[in-house]
Amino acid sequence: MKEEELIDKITKEILAKLEKMNVSGGSSKGESPSKKPDSKVLSAVELAGMIDHTLLKPGATENQFEQLCKEAIEYKFMSVCVNSSWVPYVAKKLRGSSVKVCSVIGFPLGEMDTRSKAFEARNAIANGAHEIDMVINTSALKSGNLKLVEEDIRAIKRACRSTTILKVIIETSLLTDEEKVIACELSKKADADFVKTSTGFTGAGATVEDVALMRRVVGPKIGVKASGGIRDYKTAIAMIQAGANRIGAGGSVAIVTGSTAKGNY
């Protein structure tokens, strides 16, 4: 089957699935397949265990990464999420704690070639990363080169093997609903452990509608991470109610203490 025919076939299947799920117009109503926590009973401690405490902004200093790790240990966040060059530093600071190390790969554009992404992932894992958040090649996806997108994800999954969690950032703000579904389907097909909404670097972050749509597509067995623009407890809970089981945020302390963070990452 020619690539054009394959794209047309997948597109028709996606549209049929969207129609069957009654998903259209950028929103997705209805409940997640997985059980949703009750926002009234989800404690700050429980929420902290679902948060990747994140510092990805350019120009961040060693003192800021040290503070990131101290906060992660104090509040018992799931992980700290950093650029790959900072993995050795945070891995050392977090040694002996329950906090995992998460490294972004191909961040923030996702446009580097697959071999470079795979090398970055292997290097991050060797330096102490327990989880990998890779950015898909959105240009390839929007150009209809689905084979490249899937192979890109599979290559990073091979680098992760069975010991490292792989999250796939699909960058929802750049995609149509149809493309979001395709990105989730390709991630699922390539055995990703999570799909993730956003890098937070495109001017828009997670929305409840996108999280709900992603959860519907991947089902209950794959994780959904909401990231970008989540600055308070109420918003974090809304994402979880929509189907997220992981939150990415720079203002994690504000979220779990009931205040509002000022920035993204």
Per-residue pLDDT tens over the stretch 13-57: 665 665 665 543 333 333 333 445 554 568 899 999 999 999 999
Instruction: Give the chain's mean pLDDT.
Output: 89
Instruction: Quote the pLDDT of residue 41.
Output: 60
> Can you tell me the distance from the alpha carbon of 72 to that of 259, in angstroms, rounded to the nearest whole number?
17
**Which among 52, 133, 152, 210 is annotated as catalytic?**
133
Is 9 designated active site? no
All domains of the chain, ordered by start, with CATH? 58-225 (3.20.20.70)
How many other β-carbons are positioned within 10 Å of the β-carbon of residue 25? Answer: 7
Which listed residue (152, 177, 196, 210) is catalytic? 196
Is the pLDDT at 234 greater than 80, yes or no?
yes
Check if 196 is active-site.
Answer: yes
pLDDT above 70 covers a percentage of the chain that reads: 83
- Given the structure tokens 């993730």, which residue do they identify? 196
CB atoms within 10 A of CB 22: 10
More confident residue, 97 or 16: 97
Report the pLDDT value the prediction gives residue 36, as an integer from 0 to 100. Answer: 52
Which residues lie below 8 Å from residue 198, measured CB to CB, with a gap of 6+?
A: 169, 171, 172, 173, 204, 205, 206, 227, 228, 229
Q: What is the per-residue pLDDT for 31?
A: 35
What would the pLDDT profile of 110-156 be if each residue is shown by its tens digit? 999 999 999 999 999 999 999 999 999 999 999 999 999 999 999 99
Q: How far apart are CA 257 and CA 254, in angstroms?
A: 5
- Average pLDDT for residues 76-87, to the nearest whole number? 99
Q: Where are the alpha helices (DSSP H) in 175-265?
A: 177-189, 208-218, 233-242, 252-257
DSSP string, 48-112: HTTEEEEE--TT--HHHHHHHHHHHHHHT-SEEEEEGGGHHHHHHHHTTSS-EEEEEESTTT--S
Q: How far apart are CA 217 and CA 41, in angstroms?
A: 27
Q: What per-residue confidence (pLDDT) applies to 203?
A: 81
Residue 75 has pLDDT above 70, yes or no: yes
Please state, in angstroms and rounded to a whole number, the distance separating the CA atoms of residues 126 and 129.
Answer: 7
Higher pLDDT, 228 or 261: 228
pLDDT confidence bin for 204, thresholds 50/70/90: confident
Is residue 262 part of the annotated active site? The answer reads: no
